[in-house]
Amino acid sequence: MALRSLDNTLPISPERPKKTIKVMNSIPVSKPKQPADPKVNNENRVPLDPVGTPAVDSIDYISSENLKPISDPDVKFKSLMEGLESKDWLKICDSLNDVRRLALYHSEFLLPVLEKVVMVLVKSMKNPRSALCKTSILAASDLFKSFGDKLLESSTSDGAVDQMMLQLLLKASQDKKFVCEEAERTLDTMVVSTTPIPLLQKLKVYVSHGNMRVRAKAAVSISHCVSKMEMVEMRDYGLVSLLQTSAELLKDRLPEAREAARGMVVLVYKAVMEDDDNEQEEKWQNFCQVNLSAIDALTMVKLVASQ
C-alpha cells in the first residue's frame, strides 16, 4: 500500500549556504600582545631577579634597642644621600636604617644635613608602599630621640619638620593598623623628647585642621605635652591660650579630641587656682567668662564642677 504524505509535518528547509566573512582593508587587525620585556621597569609588576624569578621583598623592622653602631660611619655617611635618593625602595629602606644608626650612635654626622634627611622622611611617609612608610616613621622616632629640640629648631622656610609632623598625624589617623600604631608611638616619643613650649607652638595649628582625625591626634599630643609642663611653664606659654584651645577641642566631633580637651581643662584649672583656696569657683568662673564666649565659659564651669 502506498504511503500518504503527512500535511501536519514541518517542511524540511534546504541547508543554507554559510556566509563568508570579508575583512576590509580599512579595519586594522590587532596584533597579539608581545610578552613584556622583564628589563623594562613597570611599577605594577613584581620585580624579577637576574634569573627571571620574582624577587621576594622582605623588610625587617628593627627596634631602636637592636640597632648597632656603624663600624665606619664616615664611609657610610658619604653614600647616605645617594641611597636615600635611590629609585629602588629597598635601598631607601636600607639607607633609612643607616640614618637611624647614625642618629643614635653618630649624630654629629647627621646634624649638617638634618633638614635634607627630614625631607626624605616626609617623601617616604607619603609613599603608598607601607613598608617604606613604616621604616621612615621609625627613623623619625630615632631622630626625635637623638636631636630633640634641635630637630624643632632645624626647620627653615621649607618647614621640613612641620611637614613631617603633619605626616605623622595623618599616618596616626589612617586605617592601616601597623602604620597607625607606629605613628602614634613616634608622636609619643616626640612629646617626651622635646621641650613643651616649642612643641605646643607647632602643634596648636592642627587644632583647626580640616581632617577631624588629624585634629584628634593633635589634641592627644597637645594634652600629653601640657601634662608634662610645670605650672610656671604653663603660665609662660599662656593659660588663656591653653583655655581657648581646650574650649575649641571640647566642641570637636570625635570623642578622642574631646577627652584630650577635658584633661587639659583640669590642668589649666589647677594652674589658675594654684595657691588660692578662697572663692575658687568664682575665680575660675571669672577667668572663663573673660576669655571665652558665654556658652563656652559655662561649659568649662560645668566640666570642672563635675570632676
- The residue among 143, 167, 194 that closes a domain is 194
Pull the grid cell for residue 298: 559655662
Please tell me whether residues 182 and 216 are part of one structural domain.
Answer: no
Is 70 exceeded by the pLDDT of residue 112? Answer: yes
Q: What is the CATH number of the domain that holds 105?
A: 1.25.10.10
164 shares its domain with 283:
no
Contacts of 133 (CB under 8 A, 6+ apart): 124, 125, 126, 127, 171, 179
Q: Is 14 inside any structural domain?
A: no
pLDDT confidence bin for 46, thresholds 50/70/90: very low
Tell whether 254 and 293 lie within a shared domain: yes
Q: Looking at the structure, do residues 225 and 171 belong to the same domain, yes or no?
A: no
| pLDDT above 80 for 39 | no
* Inside any domain, residue 38: no
* Residue 187 and residue 229 in one domain: no
* Statement: residue 27 has pLDDT above 60: no
Is residue 15 included in any domain, yes or no?
no
Task: Among 149, 165, 194, identify where a domain stops.
Answer: 194
State whether 149 and 185 are in the same domain. Answer: yes
Mean pLDDT of 261-277: 89
Q: Could you report the per-residue pLDDT of 71-99, keeping only the tens digit for each?
A: 999 999 999 999 999 999 999 999 999 99
| Banded pLDDT at 13 (limits 50, 70, 90) | very low
One domain, residues 158 and 121: yes
- Domain contains 225: yes
Shared-domain flag, residues 155 and 273: no
Identify whether the C-beta of residue 229 lies closer than 8 Å to the C-beta of residue 184: no
Q: Are residues 75 and 187 in the same domain?
A: yes
**CA-to-CA dists, residue 26 to 22, 23, 33, 247, 287, angstroms:** 12, 9, 21, 73, 85
Whether residue 39 is contained in a domain is answered as no
pLDDT value for 264: 97
Task: Give residues with Cβ within 8 angstroms of 92, minimum separation 6.
Answer: 83, 84, 86, 120, 124, 132
**Do 120 and 175 have their domain in common?**
yes
* Per-residue model confidence (pLDDT) at position 223: 97
Q: Let me know if residue 151 belongs to a domain.
A: yes
Measure CA 46 to chain center.
26
Residue 164 in any domain: the answer is yes
| Total number of domains in the chain | 2
Do residues 166 and 235 both lie within one domain? no
Residue-range definition of the domain harbouring residue 279 = 211-306
Q: Judge whether 115 lies within some domain.
A: yes
Query: Per-residue pLDDT for 239 more than 80?
Result: yes
Q: Which three cell numbers stand for residue 166?
A: 603633619
Same domain assignment for residues 251 and 278? yes
The predicted pLDDT at position 16 comes to 55
pLDDT attached to residue 243: 97
